[in-house]
Amino acid sequence: MFGNSYGRDERENSSPINEGDEFDVKIEDLGRDGDGIARVEGFVVFVSGAKVGDEVKIRINSVRRNFGFADIVE
Query: How are beta strands 43-48 and 55-63 bridged, if at all?
Result: unpaired
What is the distance between the alpha carbons of residues 14 and 56, in angstroms, rounded to a whole number? Answer: 24
Single-letter residue type at 27: I
Virtual CA dihedral for 17, 23, 24, 27, nearest 10 degrees?
40
Q: What is the distance of C-alpha 37 from the center of its chain? A: 8
What is the distance between the alpha carbons of residues 46 and 64, in angstroms, rounded to a whole number? Answer: 11
Query: How are beta strands 22-26 and 55-63 bridged, if at all?
Result: antiparallel
pLDDT tens by residue, the chain, 74 residues: 455 544 444 445 578 999 999 999 999 999 999 999 999 999 999 999 999 999 999 999 999 999 999 999 98
